[in-house]
Amino acid sequence: MLIEYGPQIEQFLNAVIAGVMTGALFGLMCAGVGLIYGVMGVVNFAQGEFMMLGMYLAYFFTSTLLQSVLGPIVGPFTAAILTGPVIFALGWLTHLVLLRPVTGVRGANVEAAGHYAQLILTLGLSLILANGGLILFGSSPTSVRTPLTSQAFQFEPFGDADVMLFINQNKLVVTVFAMALAAALWLFVHSTKTGRAMRAAADNPDAATYVGINVDGAHRLSFGIGVAATAIAGGMLATSISFQPYSGTEFVIIMYAGVVLGGVGSILGAFWGGMVIGMVQQLSGLFLDLQLQSTAIFVVFLLVLLFRPQGLFGKSAERT
Amino acid sequence: MERITSRTVGLLLGLIVLYGLAASLVTNSYYQLQLTLIPLWACYALAWNILSGNSGLISFGHASFFGSGAYLVVLLAVKFGMSPWLSIPVCLPLGALLGVLIGYPTFRLRGYYFALAMLAYPLALQNIFEWLGFQEVSMPIVRDAPAAHMQFTDPRIYTALSLALLLVVVFVALKVERSRFGMSLFAIKQNEPAAEAAGINTFKWKLRAIVVSGAISCVAGGFYAVVLLVVTPPSVFGAGVSAQALILTMFGGIGTIWGPLIGAITLIPLSEFFRAELAEKLPGIQGVIYGVAITLIVLLAPDGIFWRVKDRMTRGRAQSGSVAPEIPVSVLHGERPATGEVMLRVQNLSRAFGGLRAVDNVSFDVHSAEILGIIGPNGAGKTTLFNLLNGFLPPNEGSVNFQGKELVGMQPNQVCALGVARTFQVVRPFLRMTVRQNVIVGAFVSADTEAEAEVMADEALHRVGLTHKADALAQGLTNKELRLLELARALASRPKLLLMDETFAGLGRDEVEEMLETIRGLPAGGTTVVIIEHTMHAMVRLADRFVVLDHGAVIATGLPNVVTKDPQVIEAYLGKKWMALSAEN
Amino acid sequence: MLKIENLIAAYGPVHALNDVSIEVPDGGFVAVVGPNGAGKTTLFKTISGTVPAKSGRITYHGVDLLSVAPPDRPKLGLAHVPEGRQVFKTLTVAENLEMGTYAATDHAAARRQLDLVFTLFPRLGERRAQLAGTLSGGEQQMLAIGRGLASNPKLLMLDEPSMGLAPAIVDNIFETIQGIHKDYGLTVLLVEQRAAEALGSCSYGYVLETGRVVLEGAPSDLMKDDRIKRAYLGM
């Protein structure tokens, strides 16, 4: 029987492997978004653009410096990790200059966009960053070369049933890194005093102030870390796909689909949400045309929003 | 509401004619194309404004409608040779249908989830059309009678058509804005629960708004296909197209027809100019300009340029607008009628949250023409009780019977339609509108025409003694006047029963006196009053009877001077053992 | 220790506090009572900084409190146990208490303080790993007080600890508060609606009504005064 369904099984299992690997990366991306949304209640439309900047920054670091110093394999990954601190600083500044004036204001002008203000602000920011990127980097697709991209482990798990599974080496390294970083993020938020203070600030800003937590600072920190995590994910993604300045916008829905699916308020949930989205993307390729993979994600996203807004692991139903 | 004045009409017509004349002088076909597109985008932005600007439900996905219209026109032309003169009108029902399909499920979502869902629809459509193979579809060139297929050699005709469309759309938008349609949407934006309690069926109005908005956006998209001749998924379904409607309107001014017009006439030429000049050195400069524009607007003038300018201009005029003298309220009311039969019967009403019984087996009657005070220490469940009476919260047990009808299970707007009105503690008026315009929203539930609503609004203003301020902007009102405004809004529907929630908080002694007079006069006008209040020194002089709640349960009912001496009541307020301790001392 | 002079605080046009002056001496137990809407919670919020003061002064050990940023005020030794408990529902009991020590500079003292909290409230010790949102009302109140004590404060501010709690539990809470005051010499500022419980424990009382101090004095004098009843019941 195994031999009869060999090709389908092979296709399916390979899709699952690809799904897990894509999912791990999406998971890291979503964890970053989940942190921002969970702590600050901010939907950041520019999240994709910070990721895009991470991609270009990784490319920049690799091509100028690390490739020669650390070699073609270690170089790109170190570059990806180095984008973290840089984008953290950028996010920190962005919150201070742009977001704080808007998120701090409470119902002062009644006819204004109200809590939509920061949505629209980040929309403006995303336009500036994406198009600014176009001006700075040009529109031709770029990617970060690493010899692992075209190498894969091959193995046949079922003996001579002619089922050949591939694990792309580059993606495997990326998956390990992504999971490690997501775990680090989770540990930070749950096991460190600063992380717990951030959760306290999200839970009850007034009570947090009463115990001496600087809620505004907590927001800024979470924004910086959130965009940094997504940027590092981008830097790693840059080794397997080609990207251009508008790549960020493609990922915004993926990121929020993952966060909503996993449930707002939980970084772990956001990670698993991203994992599920990654699986959906790869598995939908089994029976849908490649072009419709994104549509599949959108449909899943809409279904979750309409029928289970609290997600799979979520605590609160919605944030208004 | 604000009428459509001949001044506004004249101004709009004049601007359009002026634009048309200026356009007729332009011979360069590239510039003419830009002149055609500006009114087109203005139509699209006006359509967006009808839904999002007026109701506050910010849509990030209007490209769903726009793109559908574009593809409808181009595909009907390619597959069936249908002329745009026929297919563009078909965009109206298509857009309306899409509005219902999108609005019905999505309006159930709140806040960010609504925004994200709206964002996803056009992106999904973009994907689907790419997959269907429609990467690039062109309008077929017609040699035979091209005019019958909306194809003209003189590009100025397209501009004329665009202006004609704008003329129609701007008047539709104006009609919506200056009617009960627009006022209901504004009320929803301002305070949705209060709008519901005032009898406005919020879901129905939102749906109507998205239907009109979608229909017009669809038409705009259809015309876009005709003008540009080529339709690609990103150019009509892309996130940039959705953002365009939003940015033009929010930049120009949200919630007014002038906003989209200002946005279109400033941002489009500006960005196009930069794109034309600098596209080679700075590709994407257009996007940067839009991004900077919207970012600056959110930070510096969140309601848009129109309002920023208008606010500056009216700053001086914010004083009382009318010369009419203030009539002392005591003069206005007739004889206080005797209390009559039971009008509202509450029986065994209970509601728990988790393990906490917020309202515990509450029963009491309200007699017509009485003023009943619901009192009790903090946390006793008074506001929860009102929410149960109103329909905002379903009870776990019990019934609420109003003049023979069972209220439990009804929506708040239905409860209001039966004659039960409510005021809220936090008053959020339309600051930029007059007092009368604020009050008129409350009359819609009972008025058949807008003229009738105006009469009812004036009547309500008279009952609270605010007639002299009817034309003043709500911005300049004092605290007391704001409470009276809230009261007038609730009275505008001529309710038989009025639920008042904490009206006296923060008022000074004199203001409390005036407020007391006003409320005392309400039963004479046919309105029975149930009032929740903490300001006891006012309540003991106002209420005919008290119902005292503690920990969700009724502990006493009766006349004020009896209830306030009841030891159980005293201990509820002052703490257990008060009687014992004070006796000791 | 804490001196409030001519404080005015407002929410928009509404004055919640109108020229309020209150003094809390070192080691004292001061109660501020009054009916709902009197401005009691606003008083605390102004001291802690979540509501800005329009005018007036608040001095704490000589320091002008209003010029200190709100998150820095707890470092001076102020602990605010808010109205309605307001525990961090998504954090565990232990994490809640840890947050209480956030402002502490002496970490050894902070650890000893946590031991003290578990001694005072053994039930919290039993539920260390439980999410605070799943505790009962009384347990949450204990947690909120414990969180306030965890920072080893010099001044403990309690906002309506009785609200929404069953009478037996309220007795328990007040006994504990009195105990803390006597045994550890902690200065207490208590705001309460239930005048009997508050005046029965304090050394000096103020009566607040619609934003003004209408009465003040020793508890025995206050309880004889009919004006308190009038402030609450209008007659």
pLDDT tens digits along A34-91: 898 888 887 888 999 999 999 999 988 888 876 677 777 777 888 888 899 999 999 9
Structural domain span for residue B130: 30-238
B213 and B361 fall within a common domain: no
pLDDT in tens, B361-383: 999 999 999 999 999 887 778 88
Which residue, chain included where needed, has tokens 């970060």?
A144
CB atoms within 10 A of CB B411: 15
Which residue, chain included where needed, has tokens 């005021």?
B423
A315 Rama sector, left if φ>0, alpha if ψ -120 to 50, beta otherwise: alpha
Which of B373, B358, B371, B375 lies closest to B534 in space, CA to CA? B375
Rounded Cα distance, A286 and B177, in Å: 50
pLDDT in tens, B516-554: 999 999 998 899 999 998 888 888 899 999 999 988 899
The 8-class DSSP code of residue B320 comes to: -
Contacts of C51 (CB under 8 A, 6+ apart): C9, C11, C16, C42, C45
Interface contact C122, partner B, CB < 8 A: no
B162 in a domain, yes or no?
yes
**What was the pLDDT predicted at A315?**
54
Interface contact B559, partner C, CB < 8 A: no
Residues facing residue B74 across a β-bridge: none
Share of chain B above pLDDT 70, in %: 95
Which chain C residue shows the shortest CA-CA distance from A215? C71
Confidence band, pLDDT 50/70/90 cuts, at residue B405 = very high
Contact B112 A119 (CB under 8 A): yes
Contact B574 C194 (CB under 8 A): yes
Contact A294 B113 (CB under 8 A): no
A203: which chain C residues are within 8 Å (Cβ-Cβ)? 88-91
What is the number of CB-based contacts under 8 A between chain A and chain B? 156
Q: List all chains that touch chain A, counting a touch as 3 or more CB pairs closer than 8 Å.
A: B, C
Q: Which pair of structure tokens corresponds to residue A286?
A: 């089994």
B55 in a domain, yes or no?
yes
Burial of B338 (0-12, 13-18, 19+ CB in 10 A): exposed
Rounded Cα distance, B443 and B432, in Å: 19
Residues facing residue C217 across a β-bridge: C205
Rounded Cα distance, C222 and B20, in Å: 81
Interface contact C14, partner B, CB < 8 A: yes
B323 in a domain, yes or no?
no
- What are the two backbone dihedrals, phi and then psi, of residue B440, each rounded to the nearest 5 degrees? -60, -25
Interface contact A215, partner C, CB < 8 A: yes
CB atoms within 10 A of CB B583: 9
pLDDT in tens, A18-42: 899 999 999 999 999 989 888 888 7
**What was the pLDDT predicted at A106?**
38
B68 in a domain, yes or no?
yes
Mean local confidence (pLDDT), A212-220: 90
* Domains of chain C, first to last: 1-74+156-170+186-235 (3.40.50.300), 78-153 (no CATH)
Q: Which amino acid is at A165?
A: L
CB atoms within 10 A of CB C220: 12
Q: Which pair of structure tokens corresponds to residue A24?
A: 């791990």
Q: How large is the ipTM? A: 0.88
Domain CATH code at residue B532: 3.40.50.300
Nearest by CB: B432 against A111, A116, A120: A111
pLDDT in tens, B11-55: 999 999 999 999 888 888 888 999 999 999 999 999 999 999 999
Burial of B358 (0-12, 13-18, 19+ CB in 10 A): buried
Looking at the 3D structure of chain B, how many domains does it have? 2
Which of B112, B186, B251, B299 to probe the A interface (max A CBs under 10 A)?
A: B112
* pTM attached to this predicted model: 0.89
Burial of C222 (0-12, 13-18, 19+ CB in 10 A): buried
| Residue C47 contacts residue C55 (beta carbons within 8 Å) | no
Nearest by CB: C13 against B356, B479, B574: B479
Contact C95 A196 (CB under 8 A): yes
Confidence band, pLDDT 50/70/90 cuts, at residue B432 = confident
B286: which chain A residues are within 8 Å (Cβ-Cβ)? 131
- Among candidate residues B221, B238, B255, the one where a domain is terminated: B238
| Residue C97 contacts residue C143 (beta carbons within 8 Å) | yes
Average pLDDT, chain B: 89
**What was the pLDDT predicted at A197?**
92
**What was the pLDDT predicted at A113?**
44
Mean local confidence (pLDDT), A1-27: 83
Interface contact C95, partner A, CB < 8 A: yes
B230 and B368 fall within a common domain: no
Which chain A residue shows the shortest CA-CA distance from C103? A212
- Among candidate residues B238, B264, B294, the one where a domain is terminated: B238
Rounded Cα distance, B227 and B243, in Å: 21
Contacts of A235 (CB under 8 A, 6+ apart): A54, A55, A57, A58, A76, A79, A80, A81, A83, A144
Give the alpha-carbon dihedral of B235, B237, B243, B247, to 10 degrees.
70
Mean local confidence (pLDDT), C68-95: 89
A135: which chain B residues are within 8 Å (Cβ-Cβ)? 282-285, 288
Distance from CA of C118 to the nearest CA of B (A): 26
**What was the pLDDT predicted at A114?**
56
Rounded to the nearest 10 degrees, the angle between the axes of helix B285-300 and helix A117-137 is 150
Which chain A residue shows the shortest CA-CA distance from B107? A306
B71 or C119, higher pLDDT: B71
Contact A212 C71 (CB under 8 A): yes
Contact C102 A265 (CB under 8 A): no
Q: Which helix (H) or strand (E) holds B406?
A: strand B405-406
pLDDT in tens, B260-283: 999 999 999 998 888 888 877 888
Residue C29 CA from chain centroid, whole number? 11
**What was the pLDDT predicted at A67?**
64
Which chain A residue shows the shortest CA-CA distance from B240? A127
B333 in a domain, yes or no?
no
**What was the pLDDT predicted at A105?**
39
Is the pLDDT score of B325 beyond 60?
no
Largest CA distance in chain C: 54
Is the pLDDT score of B578 beyond 90?
no
| Residue B442 contacts residue B492 (beta carbons within 8 Å) | yes
Q: Which amino acid is at B318?
A: A
Distance from CA of A320 to the nearest CA of B (A): 5
Interface contact A134, partner B, CB < 8 A: yes
| Residue C37 contacts residue B534 (beta carbons within 8 Å) | yes
Class of domain A6-307: mainly alpha
B225 and B345 fall within a common domain: no
Confidence band, pLDDT 50/70/90 cuts, at residue A316 = very low
Rounded Cα distance, B398 and B553, in Å: 13
Is the pLDDT score of B73 beyond 90?
yes
CB atoms within 10 A of CB C5: 13
Average pLDDT, chain A: 83
B364 and B233 fall within a common domain: no
Which of C72, C75, C90 to probe the A interface (max A CBs under 10 A)?
A: C90
Least confidently predicted of B303-307, B363-367, B509-513? B509-513
Is the pLDDT score of A109 beyond 50?
no
Mean local confidence (pLDDT), B491-512: 88
Q: Which amino acid is at B372?
A: L
Q: Which amino acid is at B77?
A: A
Interface contact C229, partner B, CB < 8 A: yes
DSSP codes, chain A: -TTTTHHHHHHHHHHHHHHHHHHHHHHHHHHHHHHHHHHH----TTHHHHHHHHHHHHHHHIIIIIHHHHHHHHHHHHHHHHHHHHHHHHHHHHIIIIIHHHHS--SSSTTS-GGGHHHHHHHHHHHHHHHHHHHHH-SS-B----GGGG-EEEE-TTTTS---EEEEHHHHHHHHHHHHHHHHHHHHHHHSHHHHHHHHHHH-HHHHHHTT--HHHHHHHHHHHHHHHHHHHHHHHTTTS-B-TTHHHHHHHHHHHHHHHH-TT-HHHHHHHHHHHHHHHHHHHHHS-GGGHHHHHHHHHHHHHHH-TTTTT-SSS---
Helix (H, G, I), strand (E, B) or coil at C52: coil
B386 and B530 fall within a common domain: yes
pLDDT in tens, C126-138: 888 999 988 888 8
